[in-house]
Structure 1
């Protein structure tokens, strides 16, 4: 006899077959006028929807990784289609003048019979999902003869970006926006069921400690509060970790100007080589419109000070 949860999952699976790729996100429209175009990257498990650049070789490629999308229809019922209704990552990838690509998450935009709600709920950072994203990166690496990646993750895509960086040897930097970088702390703060079946970036702390990373935090983000980045940074103790608090930004709005200002800036590393956590000391603030300046070591109590931040 099936449990109530099994019945929900089976019903969701049946609806997946007829829901198709319905979404408010139009990747062709978003990428119009840019160097990117939509393409589905094959994978042994879950094919990945992407925006890929024209050209044949990019030594370094900035890859934007989608968030969790429309994972839940209600607080208790999983969505039948996790495709996002809006996409900061697709927009930012299309607007980026640097060589860039965009990767959706498994079963976003591309629905197959293998897609089950667990993949975008309890197992959203699980082995199957990570393997599919690794396969997508390998595809890009082979196609463009890429030597190194910079990963940019939004929301739950931040956890995926960090896990990928922890497993690969070709990720030179990670940046996150409103990132769920510590899912264990996040579930505790939100008082929700732990994500059983998911990996955690903290399982890769030793490797992540040596990877430069920048984390943009929305001042008004109630979905992924600043405490999540604080907990992550205290445990990872990265040598090159910068945080940027974006005044007025919520979970999905208010990052466009901030991102354009800092995306190409190098993460300033602690020249002494000693591990540090910027959230534990003095975070860097993005405070408005103007010209970007390089990140500073938090111990010097200096800030990235920019005036104005409009919503994307």
Structure 2
């Protein structure tokens, strides 16, 4: 059974618990969200990291849609990194749990959810200045390879929330099997966003906007919240301009900020599928 009213009821319960108690266990929170969307918990050894995933794959002859989580609880304050980047508000997982597609997978970022004992190399640099570094991209790419093996010959559809949007672009630029890209409040120009907030540059990380020409022919849609002060809509517009192509579009959603209730609107937004402006998609 695909997520529907049961998901909405479970989501309401989880959000109520989260609002009422700041100490809600983040793993239990994720498990409840995933269970409502019929997603199964697993861990994947992927290159340098062990990644937490939630999956629901029921049709091996259909495309696989993979959701990439945001940066999570990366900072305690402007200058103090957290000890655990596991998100308190896992918007990426909420989106995945709402997706009615037959094949859905969610990937947490390195060092999120997975016990640190399984990832002894985890240090705060991996969720701060190096969060888009080549080893991070390589780990997620290795996980995509494992997941895609369950739907052999089928294309990937990537969805990234916030910093996961940056990684969706970076991954698509390094693969030949990505059919579509969707981002939600995606950090698509890290240099611009860091300058906007007057925070340090990330010389050890990759900037997705530099790969805009490499993904220019992939149908893509970048959703922004009209009230998003963290990654404002002009970031997506900068990225669209950098692609210089008919295949990239942006859509600004009224009333939403960066961590808002995207899940409540997600099924409707999914219906607006990415497409090139001539109505066709380039062959993979």
State if a TM-score over 0.5 links the two structures: yes
Alpha-carbon distance between aligned partners in 2 of 1:85 and 1:270, rounded to the nearest angstrom: 38
Alpha-carbon distance between aligned partners in 2 of 1:226 and 1:34, rounded to the nearest angstrom: 29
1:167 aligned to 170, 174, 177, which one?
Answer: 174
- What residue is the counterpart of 1:92 in the other structure? 95
Whether the aligned pair in 1 keeps the contact of 2:27 and 2:113 (CA below 8 Å) is no
Alpha-carbon distance between aligned partners in 1 of 2:28 and 2:224, rounded to the nearest angstrom: 24
- What residue is the counterpart of 2:41 in the other structure? 38
Could you list the structure 1 runs, at least 4 aligned residues long, displaced by more than 3 angstroms after superposition. none
Deviation at 1:87, TM superposition (A): 1.0
In structure 1, stretches of 5+ residues that fail to align are 1-21, 274-312
Tell me the matched-pair count: 252
RMSD: 1.9
- Go from structure 1 to structure 2 and tell me whether the alpha carbon gap of 1:33 and 1:223 turns closer, same or farther (over 3 Å shift): closer
- Go from structure 1 to structure 2 and tell me whether the alpha carbon gap of 1:34 and 1:271 turns closer, same or farther (over 3 Å shift): closer
Whether the aligned pair in 2 keeps the contact of 1:59 and 1:146 (CA below 8 Å) is no
Deviation at 1:24, TM superposition (A): 6.2
SS of 1:159 mapped into structure 2: helix
Deviations 1:132-176 (A, max 9, x none): 100110010113325211101000000000000111001111001
- What residue is the counterpart of 1:109 in the other structure? 113
Alpha-carbon distance between aligned partners in 1 of 2:98 and 2:33, rounded to the nearest angstrom: 9
Whether the aligned pair in 2 keeps the contact of 1:152 and 1:174 (CA below 8 Å) is yes
Give yes or no for the alignment of 1:139 onto 2:146.
yes
Whether the aligned pair in 1 keeps the contact of 2:240 and 2:250 (CA below 8 Å) is no
SS of 1:26 mapped into structure 2: helix
Deviation at 1:26, TM superposition (A): 2.4
- Go from structure 1 to structure 2 and tell me whether the alpha carbon gap of 1:23 and 1:31 turns closer, same or farther (over 3 Å shift): closer
- What residue is the counterpart of 1:5 in the other structure? none
After the TM superposition, which of the residue ranges 208-217 and 247-256 deviates more from structure 2? 247-256
Deviation at 1:54, TM superposition (A): 4.4
Give yes or no for the alignment of 1:74 onto 2:77.
yes
- What residue is the counterpart of 1:153 in the other structure? 160
- Write the mapping of 1:38-57 to structure 2, written as runs, cut at 5 A: 38-55=41-58, 57=60
Whether the aligned pair in 1 keeps the contact of 2:44 and 2:52 (CA below 8 Å) is yes
Larger radius of gyration: 1
Alpha-carbon distance between aligned partners in 2 of 1:66 and 1:253, rounded to the nearest angstrom: 15
- What residue is the counterpart of 2:218 in the other structure? 211
Give yes or no for the alignment of 1:119 onto 2:134.
no
Deviation at 1:205, TM superposition (A): 2.4
- What residue is the counterpart of 2:270 in the other structure? 263
- What residue is the counterpart of 1:182 in the other structure? 189
Deviation at 1:255, TM superposition (A): 2.2
SS of 2:46 mapped into structure 1: coil
Alpha-carbon distance between aligned partners in 2 of 1:56 and 1:256, rounded to the nearest angstrom: 23
SS of 2:110 mapped into structure 1: coil
Q: TM-score, normalised by structure 1?
A: 0.76
After the TM superposition, which of the residue ranges 67-76 and 254-263 deviates more from structure 2? 254-263
Q: TM-score, normalised by structure 2?
A: 0.83
Whether the aligned pair in 1 keeps the contact of 2:94 and 2:263 (CA below 8 Å) is no
Give yes or no for the alignment of 1:59 onto 2:62.
yes
